[in-house]
Structure 1
């Protein structure tokens, strides 16, 4: 089946220069998702959350992109729908069991949640164990324009083939996916709400990643909930406050929550960085924020 992108939100708006570029001649390096958790963590913690599929439909899907089927994971309530869509944007580690479980949690809350494997063309994350290699060889070589186009394709597919309602579209992402949330919010004019979990606001700029999340803070369209850790050694609180202030000065809606004792990755229940209280509070805030702003 051929799925055409919905024309809504297709204008890059203030994100000039974000060209997807030529798609990889290799096509998709990853043709299926990671089984289990990422290999890039030395130890899996005992507090891993596992959400069952009772009352929902959940599993791996193939999303028809311009250059072939893109692997992804979808979870949606049973029933006819349509259900509000939440695009789930992975960390740098791929769509592994943690991201899949997040999709199931969202489906249990009434959402059509879809997590596309946005790095599938650049490298096989299922075999990679070194974080620095993942970042340098996969993440930094993935054009922003490419994954933005892939999220647009995913949203259109969710509405056409997965019981999703494109008029109630939200996005949620963690770590590098949190950065993506800011950028996608500046791209997609019909987005209703966005939730960024500890996404970096700064970083290196390049020809294929020409703007940081902080650069586009004043250009976002949808209300954005920013959930950050005060003990995150890689993301200064001042940088998040600066982005929030820039957005608000431009008349945008950004709600910032800082968890003073929480480190980076405080929602990642499979890692030592997990902080139960902050994770649970952030999740409750995220669901309430989506519903408050029309994704529900």
Structure 2
């Protein structure tokens, strides 16, 4: 089922997040010793978090993921017990793995999943010390090569299966905003993914040497079913682009479902920000769980 609404054309507010100029950075021996302990300073307007999930009955906390060039920090939550547990990779926005992402992992863990949110921008910069969106985009987001991003997600999935009681045969992925873009890319990259859920992931934008493809570019190449959850009032992602993404994927014989929530802004699942919308967030969460169950993650 697809819900669609018409939306006026708007200049994508997050277009720059889809690829900016390449600049050199150190790629060897990186390590960040800790994750963000609260909300990143970049989220300048923070309301009380609507959902708070405790860790009772869970193994939850910071972990380190071995990658090809160092240790990448991540947050993992999973049920206490022997496992194995279905794996869900939780891909961050542009604000780091802060409390909202950690709580999302715990919510999934309470439902029986091994949920892991990798700190995918650890090499590029410390998001805890950044308060300006343009600084985050130009100094961190634009410098993350997509090849490295996909490799980091591969490393996270491998670690979950070999060192964290995860079930490699039941691999799912979900992500928010920029992480939603990564969901589309990863669904086109890893044939082991059973199901993917992209929350308001940007589809267009510019292309660079290190970020050569947009999410729209890979719509026909996805290897896993993708559920896309979008807001009809998202000024950065036109409804026409979302519908085109769906149509392109379906024309290529791919399994895709798009839900567009009328009068709903970007980041409607982010329950620590004014953009949070309870009904679409809860409906999208239920659809995500059903998607995982239908396609073999649960």
- TM-score, with structure 2 as normaliser: 0.90
In structure 2, what is the Cα distance between the partners aligned to 1:244 and 1:288? 19
In structure 2, what is the Cα distance between the partners aligned to 1:123 and 1:198? 24
In structure 1, what is the Cα distance between the partners aligned to 2:278 and 2:296? 27
Between stretches 25-34 and 272-281, larger displacement belongs to 25-34
Name the counterpart of 2:16.
none
In structure 1, what is the Cα distance between the partners aligned to 2:246 and 2:33? 38
In structure 1, what is the Cα distance between the partners aligned to 2:267 and 2:139? 22
Question: What's the secondary structure of 1:79's corresponding residue?
Answer: coil
In structure 2, what is the Cα distance between the partners aligned to 1:44 and 1:278? 20
Candidates 280, 283, 286, aligned match of 2:285:
283
Name the counterpart of 2:21.
none
Question: What's the secondary structure of 2:230's corresponding residue?
Answer: strand
List per-residue Cα deviations over 1:62-109 (Å, max 9, x = no partner).
Answer: 111122211000000111110010011000011111101100001011
In structure 1, what is the Cα distance between the partners aligned to 2:263 and 2:242? 16
In structure 1, what is the Cα distance between the partners aligned to 2:221 and 2:97? 28
TM alignment of 1:78-93, pairs within 5 A: 78-93=80-95
Higher relative contact order (CA 8 A, sep 6+): 2
Name the counterpart of 1:101.
103
Candidates 39, 53, 56, aligned match of 2:55:
53
The answer as to whether partners of 2:175 and 2:198 remain within 8 angstroms in 1 is yes
In structure 1, what is the Cα distance between the partners aligned to 2:157 and 2:92? 15
Name the counterpart of 2:270.
268
In structure 1, what is the Cα distance between the partners aligned to 2:124 and 2:194? 30
Question: What's the secondary structure of 2:53's corresponding residue?
Answer: coil
TM alignment of 1:29-44, pairs within 5 A: 30-44=32-46
Question: What's the secondary structure of 1:192's corresponding residue?
Answer: strand
The answer to whether residue 193 in structure 2 is matched with residue 191 in structure 1 is yes
Q: Which consecutive residues of structure 1, in runs of 5 or more, have no partner in the other structure?
A: 1-21
Give the number of equivalent residue pairs.
275
The answer to whether residue 230 in structure 2 is matched with residue 228 in structure 1 is yes
What is the CA RMSD across the aligned residues, in angstroms? 1.3
Q: CA deviation at 1:294?
A: 0.1
In structure 1, what is the Cα distance between the partners aligned to 2:76 and 2:156? 10
After TM superposition, where is structure 1 displaced by more than 4 Å over at least 4 residues in a row? none
Name the counterpart of 2:30.
28
The answer as to whether partners of 1:75 and 1:114 remain within 8 angstroms in 2 is yes
Name the counterpart of 1:6.
none
Q: CA deviation at 1:48?
A: 3.2
Name the counterpart of 2:210.
208
Q: Which consecutive residues of structure 2, in runs of 5 or more, have no partner in the other structure?
A: 1-23
In structure 1, what is the Cα distance between the partners aligned to 2:189 and 2:52? 33
Q: CA deviation at 1:261?
A: 1.3
Question: What's the secondary structure of 2:257's corresponding residue?
Answer: strand
